[in-house]
Amino acid sequence: MEFICSACGKRESVRTRKAHCDCGGLWKLDYEPPKFDTEKIDRSEWSMFRYRAFMALDDDASWRGISLGEGMTPIVRLDENVLLKMDYFMPTLSFKDRGAAVLVSHCRAIGVDSVVQDSSGNAGNSVAAYCAKAGIACEIFVPEGTSPKKIDSIRAHGAVCTVVPGGRDHCAEVCREKVERQGLYYANHVYNPFFYEGTKTYIYEVFEQLGRIPAHLVIPVGNGTLFLGAIKGLEHLLRSGCIEKMPQIIALQAETCDPLLRAAAQGLAEPAELTPRPTIAEGIAIGKPMRGREILEYAYKYGVRFVHAPEDRILDARAALARRGIYCEHTTAANYAAYLAYCETYGPTPDCLITMCGAGLKSDH
Ligand SMILES: Cc1ncc(COP(=O)(O)O)c(C=O)c1O
Ligand SMILES: [Zn+2]
């Protein structure tokens, strides 16, 4: 298997330790899965690796060695219009386990013994847990103000957790500087294409569970790892003739940090420049999404609608869900707050699937 540089087209073996191409461009994976067919799902495997016939994996041993039973999350009906995909029913309580399982499996396959990663907390939790299972040393950089529970569990997995003063984008810069300076392996959810091989299983799972894809999908977008994975999965289902058209994707961003929403409103090819202001939705506080150009290309191609999660309604949305038995973290409550705001603008929105991608105990502070 090979990576292709998204900027200059250079090819490189996936065994490379380079976080990106020499020209600075991010890698894409040159991999075309076979036609999607539910007959090829391994129903004896009770994890998202049951879809491995359609996933770029280096071998058959590495994922078996690191799997923690990720995926297979239920879909629960909230009301007549809304279905919730309970993606916090995961080994480390967030959807990032989908991506981290494949990424760390790749690290194991190519013999990486030490990694670094930056995160708002959840991706770091996931990478730390899978590295613990794989016996890979790990350092996670998080920005100051990260939920203490996320930091505690990163450390519980034996990873070093370095808290960086300043915002989320600065934290990423500090980590990347260390990657460049010391030539470390960057097990990062945004840069490493293997992560998306995991997040795309979100779509395969929904299709297997419901036998269809709902008309509307609500997806949070910070760096867009679920968004890009979902697009990959949906394009695959389209090409395979399993679905006839793309669902309406409702992509949400924080009111105080919305570079993609602003760009889309003006038809720009690159994310808008801005200085993020604080949000309680810490997981989507990304001012400089590194795959922003790619996200916007898909957004224009598939008529994605961006919407704000109104900052002053996130806690109300969290409480409303909790009173119906769903206890999610602040960032995830933003998904529901954004859905309610979307309905106010576009009218009733039936057959809508919202991801519940982070657990309430994560931001219980
Ligand atoms: C709970 C939760 N939701 C959404 C996101 C946003 O994911 P991404 O930055 O990949 O778009 C994150 C990222 O950390 C998260 O933890
Ligand atoms: Zn290049």
Q: Say how many Å lie between the CA of residue 32 and the centre of ligand 1.
A: 26
| pLDDT at 141 (0 to 100) | 97
How far are the Cα atoms of 65, 88, 168, 192, 240 from residue 332, in angstroms, in the given order?
30, 10, 18, 24, 31
348 burial class (0-12, 13-18, 19+ CB within 10 angstroms)? exposed
pLDDT mean values, one per 10 residues, the chain (365 residues): 97 97 97 98 98 98 98 98 98 98 98 96 96 98 93 97 95 95 95 98 98 98 98 98 98 98 98 95 95 98 98 98 97 98 98 98 80
Q: Say how many Å lie between the CA of residue 6 and the centre of ligand 2.
A: 7
Q: Say how many Å lie between the CA of residue 254 and the centre of ligand 1.
A: 11
Do β-strands 114-118 and 137-143 pair in parallel, antiparallel, or remain unpaired? parallel
2 burial class (0-12, 13-18, 19+ CB within 10 angstroms)? middle
| pLDDT at 280 (0 to 100) | 94
The span from the CA of 30 to the CA of 99, in Å, is: 17
How far are the Cα atoms of 40, 72, 77, 214, 215 from residue 243, in angstroms, in the given order?
17, 21, 22, 10, 11
On whether residue 254 sits in a domain, the answer given is yes
On whether residue 275 sits in a domain, the answer given is yes
Q: Say how many Å lie between the CA of residue 27 and the centre of ligand 2.
A: 8
| pLDDT at 156 (0 to 100) | 98
Q: Whose CA is nearest to atom 1 of ligand 1?
A: 358
Taking phi over 0 as left and psi of -120 to 50 as alpha, with beta for the rest, 3 belongs to: beta
Is the CB of 331 inside a 6 Å radius of any atom of ligand 1? yes
Three-state SS for 160-213 is: EEEEECCCHHHHHHHHHHHHHHHCCEECCCCCCCHHHHHHCHHHHHHHHHHCCC
| pLDDT at 363 (0 to 100) | 84
**What is the residue range of 343's domain?**
75-91+199-363
Provide the number of structural domains found in the chain: 1
The span from the CA of 113 to the CA of 95, in Å, is: 24
| pLDDT at 365 (0 to 100) | 62
The span from the CA of 217 to the CA of 149, in Å, is: 29
On whether residue 320 sits in a domain, the answer given is yes
| DSSP symbol at 363 | G
- Choice from 226, 329, 332 to test ligand 1 binding pocket (greatest atom count within 8 A of CB): 226
Do β-strands 216-220 and 352-355 pair in parallel, antiparallel, or remain unpaired? parallel
Q: Say how many Å lie between the CA of residue 221 and the centre of ligand 1.
A: 7
Give the up-direction half-sphere exposure of residue 169: CA atoms within 13 A in the CB hemisphere.
16
Nearest listed ligand to the Cα of residue 8? 2
Is the CB of 220 inside a 6 Å radius of any atom of ligand 1? yes
Helix residue spans in the chain (DSSP H): 62-66, 96-109, 122-134, 148-156, 168-182, 194-199, 201-210, 225-239, 259-266, 292-302, 314-322, 330-346
Is the CB of 198 inside a 6 Å radius of any atom of ligand 1? no
Is the CB of 105 inside a 6 Å radius of any atom of ligand 1? no
Q: Say how many Å lie between the CA of residue 296 and the centre of ligand 2.
A: 20
Closest ligand 1 atom to 122 CA: 16
| pLDDT at 223 (0 to 100) | 97
Is the CB of 91 inside a 6 Å radius of any atom of ligand 1? no
On whether residue 258 sits in a domain, the answer given is yes
On whether residue 348 sits in a domain, the answer given is yes
The span from the CA of 236 to the CA of 186, in Å, is: 28
CATH assignment of the domain containing 313: 3.40.50.1100
Is the CB of 218 inside a 6 Å radius of any atom of ligand 1? no
On whether residue 329 sits in a domain, the answer given is yes
How far are the Cα atoms of 4, 56, 212, 304 from residue 246, in angstroms, in the given order?
26, 23, 11, 10
Q: Say how many Å lie between the CA of residue 4 and the centre of ligand 2.
A: 8
Nearest listed ligand to the Cα of residue 21? 2
Closest ligand 1 atom to 286 CA: 9
Nearest listed ligand to the Cα of residue 117? 1
On whether residue 249 sits in a domain, the answer given is yes
Is the CB of 284 inside a 6 Å radius of any atom of ligand 1? yes
